Structure 1
């Protein structure tokens, strides 16, 4: 008979086999080894379908053509059937609008390696198996699929890119949706090219080394047109960046754009110094950008359109003496009379006359109309450029206007500011759509100069349920539930209810399969009020009271049903967008027929550093049972190291809601 010691020994042996198998991958070179083919598991991520064993990029400026050359090598292990899609490779080539300048690809070599009867068998793609297709005006895709792919295959491919676009130094993505054992990027940047270089994401380098190569690039008269007795040279900074054991980037709930967190190297050309000493600054300052924005038809030229809009508002709005009330009426007017066409920021084309005529327009048009109506009515208003959650963070290091895709406005009344967006009729005054909760925006005061503005939401969104139940003289359990929602919880409920009240009520009743909803009432006055309140009467018509013992779960409304956090490891922040408070208050009147047999215990759990907590409390007063559950998340964003604690925190909440039982017995 196998005893526990033997089982433990066996488990240790299996673990060592796995560990050894993983170490058999050849992560030091592009060469495919027997170990690469024989190793078919990756212990650090057993869910992985494929694995990058080794990849290397090398970017440098060609000494003769001054073009940017990038050489790529990649070796990938196919772990299972689902991983076979890694055998299809797509490479994007960029071209200028006039097609006169374009990126070129050459030296494509791609092979599949399989283990057959103990020997390595390789199959190469042929030239006629590489295809090109036009993707859009500025991009062409080069595509090929490696042959004879199966679980256990190893594929390799390499190619050479040549680009005339020195301003677009090749970024390098260390992290993708499959894990990587080793990723290296070598760069050689001449000293006459100055780039803003940044590492995005939360991973660290295993290697980051730089050396100066003297006279790596010289003035080429054929390219520069320079004729000189003494040839000028530029030194190069040669850098090696490397990462090891890179986890797959798996998207999960409560995150902003993956572009914010995928570990990669980004480059933007800042200045170019020619060999004759003249300097051309490529990156601009915000002062220069502000000046340019004044000339945009959608911004600077639209910021004072008094003649176009002066007759839009009625006297009930324009004659309002209170500035805040007037601002709210103007906001309500735009919300109700103009519809968002789902298009985002269009800086170069957003004429207000089209919006006024068609009653429909993009984000820029609607919110610039709002801005101009405020200005016309002596309310201080300033537009704000921002990037939405799905679009990623706009860099603060230098102006990149293309990174902004949204426009809102800020009004100032009695020394208090309000951020406004009129694209959604359900928003309350001072509330932004959830898509806009992305940390910061650029306040466009084009006279004094633009500046960064914090748009983090500080007011918590609240859900509160008050449940009052009572056993009547016949032993039937009935009661009333009053629910209140604020901020973004209210926004979601308003959209669900006012879009179709009949469907809302049907879905509402279907959520209570064991409970009969006798009546339902919504207490809101309109769809853009700052709260959503509803009440309903319920009857536990299917409650079995035939036994002397009755088990009752007090949580007829559950805040969280399933845990949204399922990853073993998360390398990017948990971003809720706003703080949250959940409150559940339950009171049960036992009447004359029941008494308490057993009660669950009260408890409190805290997140690290007081960043959140939940409190479950229970007590009895006479023949009444009182239960309360309060949950607080005190941060809008949690760093990745909080992930295990948050995951357990949510599990505890679900467990409390699901498994809490009151044990009642008949008198």
Structure 2
């Protein structure tokens, strides 16, 4: 993507004096400015009546122009159905600028169409509605807003970009957060350039064609290929619970330059292999160079070695030292400018922190290596191609005999060997002099919660007693972080706001700062929101405030996986004393439900023993990921949990 790359490419091609322009045999599906009356008359979209807007057509094509630039042309037409769809009148075009090379945006035009007394009224976008914004060193956004948008409007815009960056052939996304009736992308690529094409997503193309053709390349025409992809009636890609990032599931086509080959002139490969990638990273001053720098922490390394003789103890002591010395600044990166500076300022990126950790571990004599990963928010890594462009995070891998441990020192509240949830994203790439290997980023702990309730209910329906929450694994980590961040007093205040009928007389926090231990929270309280009295009857919610009241899985079908990040256990055990003069009139029935292959299980038991009621609810999700074919059973399991948790105990005065 550098300017020097563009300069290298220019001399590969002998240019002719004949100007040939790109043509596609297929007619364009849309022409800017020519809209249909029926589109303006549309009141709702039949295939998704909940849609607040619908893409009528999104059409783009990319080719090499006379100046050996990648030229991209696009027309977008959208129907606005509801006020909640007005945001689709705001557009963003990302573009790059660097020394000697850039992406230029040209011919940006926009029009809003409205129907008034049977007449089509159009209003053009003004120049004042367009502005640019710098996002980072080389990345900019061109932003614009279409005028006078109303319910029923049709908006359209068109623009052209020309790019000096051959490596960045224009990618295309076929699916959006609203339905898309027609999305078409055409690409014309000369035989001199070979791109790897990667199609992803859960929707199938309506048309996918590749044809040999004479295509333009500068001022000559050469053999090449014309590509055409069409997606029709694409459903809206809506946010679902328990996913990594929605971008992992969108239907799209991506390009990566593999090589440039001009017969009799030159050949250059841009396809990497892991051996060369590892070699480059380990010799890079911002990566491998930082792993060699430990002079500024020599004193602490010597102390760790003298106080800890076992390798595991040395690894944990180093981990504790780094995470207490440098606070993560929330920046995710794989390269570090200076680990020493981060140490001196007590603030640094993921790379600053974990490359220093690796350096210390290696200096101690441990077998420590970096592992690159992509966080859940950044998206899944596909292991088919050797590239580091998708990675945004680095952690430490330590081999301890036959066992190994993964360490991330960016979080001071997490136990050694546990990775923050953001890192639990499938696989990472270990970097070493032999080309490295893929490493599974499987969680070593579950998210576990045990709630033990000892309550007595009086004749007015008020409950008083004790609640103890014991948390382990990822539940302990997240709860600890929340409480430490705001303090015990604010935590107590928040509890009272969340449960206004609770009168909390005492709160104990046990092992709040002992990260290797289970964390417990104990309350002594009186509550009035778990029961209701009507005459001689008391209706009691057996799970008090801990019932699952809403099924997170709303849709009948789901095409992409449910990703909980970790396995989980939710156990609730209660003993409730019945007031004197009352009897148990009605109790929920016991129930057990299990998922196929024992992937999950729910059990509920209720019993009366003298004047006490005993309740047990156990939810166990035994794996982190459920695929589309498992979704129906998982959804039904949660439906059964919600239904059972909603049942009440009925007490009647004798």
TM-score under structure 2 normalisation? 0.86
Partner Cα distance (1:476, 1:580) in 2:
32
Matched position secondary structure for 2:425: coil
1:81 aligns with 2:83: yes
Change in Cα spacing, 1:144 to 1:425, as seen in structure 2 (3 Å) is closer
Q: Distance in 2 between matches of 1:404 and 1:289?
A: 13
In the alignment, does 2:618 pair up with 1:630? yes
Quick check: 1:466 aligned with 2:468? no
Aligned to 2:589: 601
Unaligned runs of 5+ in 2: 1-27
Q: CA deviation at 1:175?
A: 1.2
Matching residue of 1:235: 223
Bigger drift between 531-540 and 167-176 goes to 531-540
Shift of 1:66: 3.0
Question: What is the number of residues matched between the two proteins?
Answer: 622
**Counterpart position of 2:198:** 198
Which of 90, 93, 116 aligns to 1:91? It is: 93
1:287-346 alpha-carbon deviations (Å, 9 max, x no partner): 111111122223212223354422115747633233323332332222333322222225
CA distance in 2, matches of 1:478, 1:142: 60
1:367 matches 2:370 = no
Residues 445 and 474, structure 2, Cα contact 8 Å, conserved in 1:
no
For 2:343, what is the secondary structure of its paired residue? helix
1:354, 1:388 → 2: CA distance?
Answer: 25
Structure 1 residues 533-579: Cα deviation after superposition (integer angstroms, max 9, x where no partner) = 12333345797889543222121241645444456765543322111
| Distance across 2 between alignment mates of 1:559 and 1:449 | 50
Q: What's the secondary structure of 2:242's corresponding residue?
A: coil
Match of 1:494 in 2: 480
User: Which of residues 32, 36, 41 is equivalent to 2:35?
Assistant: 32
1:293 is aligned to 2:296: no
- Matched with 1:650 is 638
Q: Deviations over 1:125-172 (max 9, x none)?
A: 57x567453535535554554444332222233333332322211111
After TM superposition, list the pairs within 5 Å mapping 1:285-434 onto structure 2: 285-313=273-301, 315=303, 318-345=306-333, 347-349=335-337, 351-434=338-421
Judge conservation of contact 1:425–1:527 (CA < 8 Å) in 2: no
Residues 418, 444 of structure 2: 8 Å contact kept: no
Counterparts of 1:101 and 1:540 in 2: how far apart (Å)?
67
| Most deviating of 109-118 and 384-393 | 109-118
3-state DSSP class of the match of 2:494?
helix
Cα distance in 1 between the residues matched to 2:374 and 2:199: 20
Aligned with residue 661 of structure 1, among 636, 644, 648: 648
**TM-superposition CA deviations, 1:429-460 (whole Å, max 9, x none):** 11111111111111112x22211111022532
- The Cα offsets for residues 484-508 of structure 1, whole Å up to 9 and x where unpaired, read as 1111110122123333012222333
Structure 1 residues 248 and 569, CA gap change in structure 2 (3 angstroms)? farther
Q: Does residue 455 of structure 1 match 2:441? A: yes
Alignment partner, residue 216 of structure 1: 215
TM normalised by structure 1 equals: 0.85
In structure 1, C-alpha distance between the alignment counterparts of 2:528 and 2:403, rounded to whole Å: 52
What secondary structure sits across from 2:77 in the alignment? strand
**1:382–1:410: 8 Å Cα contact kept in structure 2?**
yes
| Distance in 2, Cα, partners of 1:661 & 1:131 | 59
Unaligned 5+ residue runs, structure 1? 1-26, 222-232
Given that residues 60 and 187 in structure 1 are in contact (C-alpha distance below 8 angstroms), is that contact kept between their aligned partners in structure 2?
yes
Q: Residue 279 in 1 paired to residue 267 in 2?
A: yes
Q: Does residue 1:138 correspond to 2:138, yes or no? A: yes
Classify 1:354/1:435 alpha carbon distance in 2 versus 1 (closer, same or farther; 3 Å). same
Three-state SS of the structure 1 residue aligned to 2:279 is: helix
Asked if structure 2 preserves the Cα contact closer than 8 Å seen for 1:481 and 1:535, the reply is yes
Aligned-partner SS, 2:299: coil
CA RMSD of aligned residues (A): 3.1
Aligned equivalents of 1:115, 1:471: Cα separation in 2: 65
| Cα distance in 2, alignment partners of residues 353 and 93 from structure 1 | 34
Q: 1:599 to 1:205 in 2, by over 3 A?
A: same
